[in-house]
Chains A and B, each alone.
Chain A
Amino acid sequence: MNRPRLVDGARLQYDDVREEHLLLIPEGAVRLNATAAQVLELCDGERSLEEIAAALSQRYAGADVADDVREMLGGMGERGLVVDAAA
């Protein structure tokens, strides 16, 4: 996956009732931790995986998050929630 974006119709939303981040999809909702929500916010179909990891790393004092980001987006891709913008 080079330039990930959310699948058509998926929408990030903070649920202020449950106080958690949700990825809203057709007839479902995926609960997200704060980091996962930050990663998905960066998935605009323009940024590459490396750029997403770099942007996130900046927020976490330069920590190496590339593997975590790749793993998380890989999992999201397998569930059809994130797709490659070029596909």
Chain B
Amino acid sequence: MPPPRPYTLVAELSYQCPLHCPYCSNPVDIAGDRYRAELETEHWTRVFREARALGVVQLALTGGEPMLRRDLDELVAAGRAGGLYSTLVTAGTLLTRERAERLKEAGLDHVQVSIQSPDPEENDRIAGIRSFEKKIAAARAARELGFPLTINCVLHRQNLDQIEEILLLTEELGAQRLELANTQYYGWAVLNQQALIPTRAQLERGEEAVQRFRARVGPRITVLWVLPDYYEDLPKPCMGGWGRSTIVVAPNGEALPCQAAATIPGVEFPNVRDHSLNWIWNASDAFTRFRGTDWMQEPCRSCPLGRQEEDWGGCRCQALRLTGDAAATDPVCKFSSHHDTVVGAREAAQTDELTYRTMRRQAGV
């Protein structure tokens, strides 16, 4: 069976970022030698062309902070010329009206601005930098220029109780979409799990608020509610299945089936400097290793619910982190013999102290 065609290219243009969000999904070793050399403009424009030839239609320009790439206008134009629908995923602090106009001219399709909280002081505390006002100005500038706008807020214990205010702010800004992604515990979020993991009551109240909002505003604003890790009994189809819809390219050129996959030991991630995207998608070990269902172990192999092609075994990185084996069933699954690790995480001792993301080199890194 030929592999499915990818829909999305996640282009992580740079891991540099003015913010220090403690839930960042970027690798914790972003300051290390592995990520020192970023791709050149020519690498990216070739990757965009190769992605379209494979079937990709959506291009996410992200990071870190993609606005820090000096050639961003050029990359946006290359994406548009190549027939890709482009989204700028930004913290917003550098997206002035003037820069937004230039990106519009270059052919950018869509702007996604993150907020950390609807409360200015809380936003700045979680982001680790004064940024709220600039974010709001960026969102308004994007709308004034006619960009469709998505607001993105990563949810956790320290902001879930402000969900009503997040919804109202989104509406007031004229956004078309709101992504409420409950924190996933990869990268920096792992270091902060005990400060971020919500209570069940918070999640229930949050979901109810989302449902009321959806009923009130209808299709004018799409609210995406990304289910929280650790509060489910069946895994989600992580990335829509390994190597099924998405290609992530890190700033250093490594191609990955998901943003957190770099943590999986024993997998060599091919670099777009050395290989075509076609080979990477269709033939590389990294993209074929957990594709489909042949690699599955028990209990996935004889899943009593027949969900193999529904959840694709869940998340490989989570399986690795909680069981030590990336090929195990995601322990979120109630049939996993490691499901107790997930239940235990819900009840772990809690703290409000945050470890902030930084590019400063740390001892031992």
CB–CB A9/B147 < 8 A: yes
Chain A 74-87 near chain B by CB (<8 Å), digits 1 or 0: 00011110000000
Most buried by B among A10, A11, A17, A22: A17
| In the complex, chain B residues whose CB is within 8 Å of the CB of A10 | 148
Q: In the complex, what distance in Å separates the CA atom of A7 from the CA atom of B52?
A: 24
Q: Report yes or no: A24 in contact with B5, Cβ–Cβ below 8 A.
A: no
- Given A26-B148, A29-B7, also A13-B109 (CB < 8 A): no
Q: Give the CA-CA distance A9 to B146 in the complex, in Å.
A: 8
Determine whether the beta carbon of A17 is less than 8 Å from that of B109. no
Known: A24-B109, A26-B87, A80-B219. A9 touches B176 (CB 8 A): yes
Instruction: Give the secondary structure class of B's interface.
Output: mixed
Q: How many residues of A contact B (CB 8 A)?
A: 20
**Stretch from B31-39, B54-62, B162-170, B192-200 at the A interface:** B54-62
Q: How many A-B residue pairs have CB under 8 A?
A: 61
Asked, given contacts A8-B146, A8-B148, A18-B55, whether A26 binds B219 with beta carbons under 8 Å apart, the answer is: no
Given A9-B110, A28-B58, also A17-B85 (CB < 8 A): no
B218–chain A nearest beta-carbon distance, Å: 8
Assuming the contacts A7-B148, A13-B83, A80-B222, asked whether A26 and B57 have C-beta atoms less than 8 A apart, the reply is: no
The reply to whether A27 and B150 form a contact with Cβ atoms under 8 Å apart is: yes
Task: List chain A positions with a Cβ less than 8 A from chain B.
Answer: 7-11, 13, 15, 17-18, 22, 24-29, 77-80
* Further 15 A-B residue pairs, CB within 8 A, beyond A9-B147, A80-B219, A80-B220: A10-B148, A13-B83, A25-B85, A26-B109, A26-B110, A26-B112, A26-B148, A26-B177, A27-B58, A27-B60, A27-B110, A27-B150, A29-B57, A80-B218, A80-B222
